[in-house]
Amino acid sequence: MSTPSSAQPPGGERYFVGVDVGTGSARAGLFDLSGRMLASGKRDISLFREPGAMVEQSSTEIWAAVCASVREAVEKAGIAPESVAGIGFDATCSLVVLGDGGKPLPVGPSENPERDIIVWMDHRAVDQVERINAGGYDVLRYVGGIISPEMETPKLLWLKENRPAVFDAAWQFFDLADFLTWRATGDLARSTCTVTCKWTYLAHEKRWDPGYFHGIGLGVLADEDFARIGQRVVEPGTPLGEGLTETAAAELGLVAGIPVGAGMIDAHAGGIGTVGVDGPPENNLGYVFGTSSCTMTSTHEPVFVPGVWGPYFSAMVPGMWLNEGGQSAAGAAIEQLLSFHPASSEAAALAKTRGLSLPVLLAELASEKAGTLSDVASLADGLHVVPEFLGNRAPFADPHARAAIVGLGMERDLDNLVALYIAGLCGIGYGLRQIIDAQAMAGAPIDKIVISGGAGQLDLVRQLLADATGRPLLATRAEEPVLLGAAILGSVAGGAFPDVRAAMAALSATDRAYEPAGGETLALHARRYTAFQRLQAVARDIR
């Protein structure tokens, strides 16, 4: 296919659209060339749960939500669609299954073809994971030694074994970000980011490993020369096809031919929207704190960290290796934790009357009670939480791990709910510290944490994470760094910058820094971190 030329609207400023599809919503942001977001749009998307840890979505609904969000953002900004000079997409690492002509196929027992996505958090493939990991395949070295049920080849194997008719009828298996760029351009190219991080593509060798696919029972994909999972793999931001197709442009309310950049996984888009601030990327750990959390660490040479995904070549910052850790439940873990408490309904009602979310209310109450942000951990005295409700993604790669809570009494009041909230946040922080320590021991130390994601926007959360990890934490100027990361891909595709690194340097900036506290606060977190590790180990031993 031909490569679209740089879109330069005559006589006016160029703007770029970033689209982010998360677990619960699709969002679009419109950015100018300074990295400032002029407007955004958002639409919720449905999540369908089935027994057996099955979680599904609809690609049809998601594309409609994307189109509505882009239209809303452009309309709010009051700019002409002709002035949009590039668009980039990011999405959760969910598996989209399409039949002939791009028609959706049912991936679960509902038999509803509209439910054609196995969501990233779906853990139906645990049995397949255990069999794959027992094989000791060389590609597993590049996923921390142990593949996760959140990755795509175990899910593909589950489909082949449990829904063979659907597997056989599938025309394409897409990572969600690659589905979006295909839907926008008609180009079947896959992103280095998606297939390297979630599909076992060896980007440093620019190849798939046929032996792995034959070994695990997916040899048919290799025999087809990988036509259904990606024969052409390109770096994020690479312009695709001839830009927006006429059909996609009409649906998005934009102009046909606008350059579209190859996409990324959502957390990785947050990474390129953040790790370029305040020094070289290798000094900064990108921490995307949302429903789940991801940690992004860039190195010049490959670093193998047991239990941490990667090293992946050119999966985030072009030409650098990426180690990806994280927590399968982060913001979702806090939500789950709070739901158990007798005062949660009272607190939710109070939050509603004040026009706040429950976490914001609890953060305000905690700040009032503690006095200073670095004193809030003392509110959780005697209460400890290991918030692994959905397993341990890193550094233990243990999908069977579960949450542990110690220290609950008979209290039923708001103060105790606040204490539980703080204890849960401490647990998130200690899990992050564990990943940082494991990477440092393996040869990938970091100096600073750069945060993004909706669950990490509160000052209290940021300071608590800095104190719990003992690392300075930076917040970026961009209110929506994940959307900025997606827009960066569109700006590179549109020719505004020569490459992703140049765009990162130009569009990312620090807004605020949070230094870890010393003295008694430092000692308190050291004691609590030791308790966290002991409780985590006991939970693992008794299981």
Q: What is the pLDDT of residues 509-530, one digit of tens each?
A: 888 999 999 999 999 999 999 9
Same domain, residue pair 93 and 175: yes
Same domain, residue pair 365 and 503: no
Same domain, residue pair 65 and 127: yes
* Domain final position from 265, 287, 302: 265
Average pLDDT score, the chain: 94
Same domain, residue pair 224 and 89: yes
- The per-residue pLDDT for 428 is 98
Residues 6+ apart with CB under 8 A from 484: 18, 29, 31, 35, 37, 273, 476, 478, 507, 508
CA atoms within 13 A on the CB side of 290: 20
| Number of other CB atoms surrounding residue 412 within 10 Å | 11
Q: Dihedral through CA 45, CA 48, CA 54, CA 55, nearest 10?
A: 0
Same domain, residue pair 509 and 528: no
Residue 12: pLDDT band with limits 50, 70, 90: low
Asked if residue 179 belongs to a domain, the reply is: yes
Tokens of 466: 């800095």
- The per-residue pLDDT for 291 is 87
* Domain final position from 248, 265, 282: 265
Asked if residue 206 belongs to a domain, the reply is: yes
Asked if residue 535 belongs to a domain, the reply is: yes
Same domain, residue pair 280 and 419: no
Average pLDDT over residues 294-321: 94
- The per-residue pLDDT for 517 is 97
Strand bridging mode 233-234 / 190-191: parallel
Asked if residue 10 belongs to a domain, the reply is: no
Same domain, residue pair 523 and 507: no
Same domain, residue pair 79 and 136: yes
- The per-residue pLDDT for 1 is 37
Same domain, residue pair 448 and 312: yes
Asked if residue 25 belongs to a domain, the reply is: yes
Note the pLDDT tens digit of each residue in 185-221: 999 999 999 999 999 999 999 999 999 999 999 999 9
Asked if residue 305 belongs to a domain, the reply is: yes
Is it the case that residue 243 has pLDDT exceeding 60?
yes
Same domain, residue pair 103 and 47: yes
Q: Which residue has the tokens 């027994």?
A: 51
For residue 461, what are the domain limits?
A: 274-327+441-514
- The per-residue pLDDT for 394 is 93
Same domain, residue pair 242 and 365: no
Residue 3: pLDDT band with limits 50, 70, 90: very low
Give strand ranges (E) for 278-397. Answer: 284-289, 293-299, 309-313, 321-327, 384-386
Burial 36-63 (b: 16+ CB within 10 A, else e): ebebbbbbebeebeeeeebbbbbbebbb
Average pLDDT over residues 396-425: 96
Is it the case that residue 61 has pLDDT exceeding 90?
yes
Same domain, residue pair 28 and 69: yes
Average pLDDT over residues 85-112: 97
State the angle between helix axes of 459-469 and 414-442 in degrees (0 to 180), rounded to the nearest 10.
Answer: 50
Is it the case that residue 497 has pLDDT exceeding 60?
yes
Residue 7: pLDDT band with limits 50, 70, 90: very low
Is it the case that residue 6 has pLDDT exceeding 70?
no
Do residues 483 and 322 make contact, with C-beta atoms less than 8 angstroms apart? no
Is it the case that residue 265 has pLDDT exceeding 90?
yes
Q: Give the total number of structural domains in the chain.
A: 3
Is it the case that residue 432 has pLDDT exceeding 90?
yes
Asked if residue 505 belongs to a domain, the reply is: yes
- The per-residue pLDDT for 344 is 97
Asked if residue 9 belongs to a domain, the reply is: no
Residues 6+ apart with CB under 8 A from 165: none
The CATH number covering residue 202 comes to 3.30.420.40
Note the pLDDT tens digit of each residue in 122-161: 999 999 999 999 999 999 999 988 999 999 999 999 999 9
